[in-house]
Structure 1
């Protein structure tokens, strides 16, 4: 009788496993029927066009900034401080806006929230497409700071939530990797085009591509959240709205303010699981290093090896090609075999290693070798996003991605405040000792600190927030 009961328990366990597998297959089939394939293809094209427009101006903006502020010089402390101040202001703005945008995208849909940042992106680059004198540069600087405070990073935040709407948990990390790979591909194409375009043409093409990206998104991208899948709170509000126009407007305004995330909401979300809070900590320190490197690297290379637009473009193309190949070809194969947590550790380790290599570069060829490390560095962020997405339910994806983006924005505030003065000091003639890459070495130690936080294997979401 005991053996018979044991066999019955084993049969019941297998039936439950089969049922869970069937539910997952059914869920992914429902997502496909909702237009998952078409929606994702249009999302990837939208992200490609948007990133192409954004990335192609990066190699040129350093030369434009230097020529506007310090004509004929290879070192300019004013340019470094202005760049650091801009990044700090953008980080402060996005610290507030990212959780808000993520939360509102849960309530009103991803497409509606995507339209705002994609339209605002057109304005600053349009100024430099027209003219690049000192006065026009300051106009660009001011408008770029204001628009980026509102929407920097929001396109990628909403794109990750869109993917989470369309893709089941089993394939989510791989699709996040493909999304990052498309961004890297746009990075490569944008920098290649910059390599063969003049500076005025670079900004004109960038403005045209930004317009094209916004139009493509508006025309072709379907909404990922159907009416029946909006948050329960939204449906209840809409159900109880009476026919009075005034009452409907009042109800919507009240609902908008109720939808705004508060600090207590963020804290509650971080307490949802230990894995989510660990992901947030790793994201903070990793982004602290990334932002500091982006602030210092170009000015360091220009002062150390006299790099210009073309060398910056070559460097970025190498990093972009390596990252694209890794995310589109290697990462989808490694995620099922190795796991997201190990790939995250690999990405963070090589991020630290390539910063050390930049900081001690002894010839102009060393930065090109360091750029090749991107083939492994790019594992980190898709794995972070995937682990975070698995800790919340389907109706909370925007909130979760917005929370992670908000944590990264907090790092965006702190990093320039610390590392901009350090970079300017060690690139100046009054440095305490001769080590131009000292600030980048410090950034590498910041990334090393992420090893103290061991992100555990993510658990599938099993309870509401």
Structure 2
């Protein structure tokens, strides 16, 4: 049964949480430079610290996100969602107090550790909660609205970052992040799922004399039969659609990470853009994404289906990067940013396709698996695109094509597009699954 009231509470909590983290993003580079290399505009140590944090966070998320998703299938989404949301408050609070070198390094260490749990964990659990409350026929609309909420938080956070001084930005972020936790705990109801006969827990209590022993033995046998790694591999190989969607998710995330990390460097080298022009482009992109997810996806999802929307979004990503790579005037990137209206259809479509491939007790581990793959792509992206960007923006490039690395980012989207054309939605593999085993 669809429960949109629960989802509205989820959307409010997620808006507050993402608003906090996305408001900090435009400011953190200046804070890092000020703490690591005071008075300097360029600092290799700051770049290396940022890259190291991205790599460690991504590697940690590869492990932690599927684990969190698996545990939420057993213990409930709300209980597990509380953990990453509380952890996300801590780093903001550190910099809200002071931004000296000592406080920055404390922030850096805590942010690296907490991001392993928070970055993919919050989104994974939100997707699982969404799938628990919405029927398959309406999920594409719900996933689109969720992405629209995140895009709207990005727009509002970016505007707030331009208006507020640095000190207040971190204070507002800490308050907003804490408010998200409080709101979630008060208003969000944990998911309840109707259990069919064959979906009842494997571990049933026995008679009074053997209950404890049977439970202990059952848990031991359960752990022997199913570990997290085996569960992930079983999901990846459970259907051609799931496997294909996993590859699509990898290349889509590879391209997204490349855009976020390297497009600004290319535009600065090509047209000497400054931070205000970058902000304008991101605002165009995310306003377009908000309109797309909130309006277009709920309408087109029921008419075209998520498979077609996925193909449209990925093809738009390729065209976007193609135009940027050969941009002949400063206005071209502004126009190509409008393709965010279509590009933003891709990610929620992937989540919706994945949610329809598993039963009700595997939503957490399935979404966690896909987000773990996305985290792996975030680690691979700088390894691939950093050397290309540095080479083709330098004077020693093999040939005169400064936008070659941006074109390569677009090719990642094109590969994902080709793979997406082979995806066909199949019925859920099994509606009558046993409740998953815990890992502890």
User: Where on the TM-score scale, by shorter chain, does this alignment land: which range?
Assistant: 0.7 to 0.9
Q: Determine the structure 2 residue equivalent to 1:4.
A: none
Out of 150, 169, 188, which is 1:221 matched to? 188
Alpha-carbon contact 1:87-1:416 (below 8 Å) kept: no
1:289–1:409 CA distance, 2 compared to 1 (3 A):
same
Out of 272, 280, 286, which is 1:314 matched to? 280
Matches within 5 A, 1:77-156: 77-156=44-123
Distance (Å, rounded) in 2 between the aligned partners of 1:408 and 1:378:
16
1:192-241 per-position Cα deviation (integer Å, ceiling 9, x unaligned)? 11121112211211111101001111111000135x64997884446349
1:317–1:435 CA distance, 2 compared to 1 (3 A):
same
Out of 276, 290, 293, which is 1:327 matched to? 293
Q: Does 1:286 align with 2:252?
A: yes
Alpha-carbon contact 1:194-1:313 (below 8 Å) kept: no
Matches within 5 A, 1:16-415: 31-32=1-2, 36-70=3-37, 75-225=42-192, 229=195, 235-237=201-203, 239-240=205-206, 261-301=227-267, 307=273, 309-415=275-381
SS of 1:411's equivalent in the other structure is helix
Q: Determine the structure 2 residue equivalent to 1:25.
A: none
1:385-413 per-position Cα deviation (integer Å, ceiling 9, x unaligned)? 11111111122111211121121122122
In the superposition, the TM-score normalised over structure 2's length comes to 0.87
Alpha-carbon contact 2:151-2:287 (below 8 Å) kept: yes
Distance (Å, rounded) in 2 between the aligned partners of 1:146 and 1:305:
37
Alpha-carbon contact 2:245-2:423 (below 8 Å) kept: no
In the superposition, the TM-score normalised over structure 1's length comes to 0.83
Distance (Å, rounded) in 1 between the aligned partners of 2:397 and 2:41:
16
Quote how far apart the aligned CAs of 1:427 are.
5.1
Quote how far apart the aligned CAs of 1:245 are.
12
RMSD: 3.1
Quote how far apart the aligned CAs of 1:433 are.
6.1
In the alignment, structure 1 segments of 5+ residues that lack a partner are 1-30
Residues matched between the structures, number = 431
1:263–1:223 CA distance, 2 compared to 1 (3 A):
same
SS of 2:205's equivalent in the other structure is helix
Quote how far apart the aligned CAs of 1:181 are.
0.9
Matches within 5 A, 1:430-449: 436-449=402-415
Quote how far apart the aligned CAs of 1:440 are.
2.3
SS of 2:238's equivalent in the other structure is coil
Quote how far apart the aligned CAs of 1:169 are.
0.9
- Structure 1 window deviating more from structure 2 (126-135 vs 198-207): it is 126-135
In the alignment, structure 2 segments of 5+ residues that lack a partner are 434-440
1:45–1:256 CA distance, 2 compared to 1 (3 A):
farther
Q: Determine the structure 1 residue equivalent to 2:438.
A: none
Quote how far apart the aligned CAs of 1:416 are.
2.1
- Structure 1 window deviating more from structure 2 (294-303 vs 182-191): it is 294-303
Quote how far apart the aligned CAs of 1:140 are.
2.2
